[in-house]
């Protein structure tokens, strides 16, 4: 058994590293390139423009400001620009190359106008950075490749992503204790939310109002079915359906990136992202509140929510499986690659198992979710490196089932039901859980990065060096054989 566990651990912490691991300052040398002359303005501008494009895709996909800044510097350094200043803020990237004391610096800027969870695009840019490091492609070729990545359509049709969002909501509802009817209703309401918000996004509706509409739609179907439950002869807990819809709306927000920026040394960007997160969450709360008041006006009153949600130990496997299914569905809805789906499933399985097991103890929801997120960041980060998948994919997908959708709904219901103290307590609890999730996954990812820090000597790509060494040995072998045959033997007449 000890040998089996050791072999499994070695496979888990194998030799593969994420791209960000291999470019940590001082850990590995970039591939040697000829430095660009300071008077070659065109070449410098081409490299800076390439680096800012890559950084824009990373920032758009939710990568932290510090990691984005590191990879921008790395790409510029590979092509011979070492004296580069990079400033990454909320939606702007500024890169400046110094050319000495007598020449003015050359500066480029890129703006990120929107944020979209396209994990395939993130993985493709990650592989592009690896190719730049290992294969020595020219800046013009890299420009063409990054333009193709940016303009390429999503790898899956929209209807696949829409069904995946609905499947994610179904998994969340089962995780919260729902049955088949609750899962089906959560699926249908979430599909409606996605379709309506997609059309609103096409006409340029601000995201706040999209979240408001989403919160409204999350409440109405559950409330209508609850109001007709007696006539239909069914039983339903509308809070489970509403909470699942809230989790779906919260999952698209940059919770991990905002707290990660604040922790890792980018407080301005972290505060901006966190304020955006609070504003979008406020839109969800406003939509839910409007729906509850309108329903009460027509005589439909939602049931009182109990202060605790407990379940038996026998239900633990079902809920853990539901959480893992929801994480995998979220990765699919965010257009993750096929190889990333299994890793996202394992990340959700680990996080949900730790959080659900902690409910049988007295450590509290905040600490339990923080511990679960730390395990997701650590084990999921190692698994992501084995699958050559950006660790951000596993981190975000793994903690998605743990987002405090039910706590947000409880807080709002308490405020609207004149239980102000209880309502604000639950809102504060939801905020604390969100911060614990983001901080825990950041800590776990930091530990995973330290475990995967390269221990090799600072040299270029080993496969390329091995091939070059074999070619050199072959040439030397031919030269030795030729020398042995010199001078030539005398000819016989």
Phi and psi based region of residue 364 (left: phi greater than 0; alpha: psi -120 to 50; beta: remaining): left
Where do the domains of the chain lie? 17-151, 158-450
CA dihedral (225, 228, 232, 236) positive or negative: positive
The rounded distance, in Å, linking the Cα atoms of 438 and 255 is: 6
Give the full edge-to-edge strand order of the sheet including 84-88. 84-88, 92-97, 106-111
* Chain centroid, CA 196 distance in Å: 24
pTM of the model: 0.79
Q: In 271-390, at which residue ranges do the beta strands (DSSP E only) sit?
A: none
∠ at Cα 413 (407, 419), nearest 5°? 105
The rounded distance, in Å, linking the Cα atoms of 50 and 44 is: 10
Question: Token match 């990333």: residue?
Answer: 340
pLDDT of residue 28: 39
Q: 92-97 and 84-88: which strand pairing?
A: antiparallel
Task: List Cβ neighbours of 132 (8 Å cut-off, separation of 6 or more).
Answer: 75, 78, 79, 142
Query: Are 60 and 112 a contacting pair, CB within 8 Å?
Result: yes
Q: Which two tokens stand for residue 27?
A: 């850990």
pLDDT of residue 195: 92
Q: Which two tokens stand for residue 237?
A: 């807990």
What is residue 111's three-state secondary structure?
strand
Task: List Cβ neighbours of 368 (8 Å cut-off, separation of 6 or more).
Answer: 354, 355, 358, 359, 361
> Which of 161, 169, 83 lies closest to 118, judged by CA?
161
The rounded distance, in Å, linking the Cα atoms of 390 and 125 is: 10
Helix (H) or strand (E) holding 92: strand 92-97
List the chain pLDDT tens, one digit each, 493 residues: 455 445 544 544 455 555 555 554 443 344 456 677 878 888 889 999 999 999 888 888 777 788 888 889 888 888 888 788 898 887 889 999 888 888 888 899 888 876 667 788 888 888 888 888 777 788 888 889 988 888 888 888 888 989 999 999 999 988 888 888 889 999 999 999 999 998 998 888 888 899 899 989 988 888 888 888 777 777 888 888 888 888 888 876 666 777 777 777 777 888 888 888 888 888 888 888 888 888 888 888 877 665 445 556 667 888 888 989 999 999 898 888 888 888 888 888 888 888 888 777 778 788 888 888 888 888 777 776 666 677 777 888 888 888 887 778 778 777 777 777 878 888 888 888 888 888 888 888 888 877 755 443 344 454 555 556 666 666 666 555 555 555 555 544 4
Running DSSP on this structure, what letter comes out for residue 88? E
pLDDT of residue 22: 56
Query: Are 358 and 390 a contacting pair, CB within 8 Å?
Result: no
Q: Which two tokens stand for residue 385?
A: 């490196």
Q: 106-111 and 92-97: which strand pairing?
A: antiparallel
> Which of 235, 226, 189 lies closest to 405, judged by CA?
189
In DSSP notation, 401-470 reads GGS-HHHHHHHHHHHHTT-HHHHHHHHHHHHHHHHHHHHHHHHHHHHHHHHT---S-S-S-HHHHHHHHH
Task: List Cβ neighbours of 241 (8 Å cut-off, separation of 6 or more).
Answer: 173, 178, 182, 185, 186, 189, 218, 221, 222
């Amino acid at each position: 058994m000890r040998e089996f566990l050791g072999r499994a651990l070695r496979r888990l912490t194998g030799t593969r590293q994420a791209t960000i691991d291999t470019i940590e300052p001082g850990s590995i040398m970039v591939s040697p390139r000829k430095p660009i002359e300071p008077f070659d303005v065109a070449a410098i501008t081409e490299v800076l423009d390439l680096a800012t494009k890559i950084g824009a895709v990373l920032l758009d996909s939710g990568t932290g400001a510090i990691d984005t800044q590191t990879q921008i510097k790395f790409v510029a350094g590979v092509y011979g620009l070492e004296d580069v200043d990079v400033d990454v803020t909320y939606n702007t990237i500024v890169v400046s190359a110094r050319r000495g004391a007598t020449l003015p610096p050359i500066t480029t800027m890129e703006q990120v106008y929107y944020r979209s969870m396209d994990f395939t695009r993130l993985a493709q840019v990650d592989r592009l950075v690896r190719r730049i490091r290992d294969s020595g492609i020219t800046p013009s070729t890299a420009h063409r490749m990054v333009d193709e990545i940016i303009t390429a359509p999503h790898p899956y049709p929209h209807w696949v992503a829409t069904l995946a969002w609905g499947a994610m909501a179904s998994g969340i509802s089962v995780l919260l204790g729902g049955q088949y009817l609750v899962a089906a209703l959560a699926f249908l309401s979430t599909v409606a939310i996605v379709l309506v918000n997609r059309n609103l996004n096409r006409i340029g509706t601000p995201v706040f109002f999209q979240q408001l509409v989403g919160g409204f739609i999350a409440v109405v179907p559950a409330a209508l079915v609850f109001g007709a439950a007696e006539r239909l002869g069914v039983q339903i807990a509308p809070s489970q359906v509403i909470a699942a819809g809230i989790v779906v709306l919260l999952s698209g927000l940059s919770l991990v990136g905002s707290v990660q920026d604040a922790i890792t040394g980018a407080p301005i960007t972290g505060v901006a992202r966190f304020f955006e997160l609070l504003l979008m969450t406020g839109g969800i709360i406003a939509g839910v509140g409007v729906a509850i008041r309108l329903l009460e006006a027509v005589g439909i009153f939602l049931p009182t929510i109990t202060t605790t949600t407990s379940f038996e130990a026998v239900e633990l496997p079902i809920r853990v499986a539901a959480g893992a299914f929801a994480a995998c569905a979220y990765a699919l809805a965010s257009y993750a690659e096929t190889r990333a789906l299994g890793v996202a499933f394992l990340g959700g399985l680990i996080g949900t198992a730790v959080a659900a097991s902690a409910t049988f103890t007295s450590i509290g929801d905040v600490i339990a979710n923080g511990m679960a997120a730390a395990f997701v960041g650590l084990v999921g980060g190692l698994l992501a490196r084995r699958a050559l998948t950006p660790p951000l994919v596993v981190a975000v997908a793994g903690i998605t089932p743990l987002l405090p959708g039910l706590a947000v709904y409880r807080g709002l219901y308490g405020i609207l039901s004149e239980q102000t103290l209880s309502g604000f307590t639950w809102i504060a609890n939801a905020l604390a859980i969100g911060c614990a999730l983001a901080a825990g996954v950041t800590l776990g990812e930091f530990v995973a990065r330290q475990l995967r820090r390269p221990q090799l000597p600072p040299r270029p790509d080993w496969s390329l060096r091995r091939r070059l060494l074999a070619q050199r040995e072959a040439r030397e072998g031919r030269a030795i054989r030729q020398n042995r045959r010199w001078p030539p033997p005398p000819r016989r007449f």
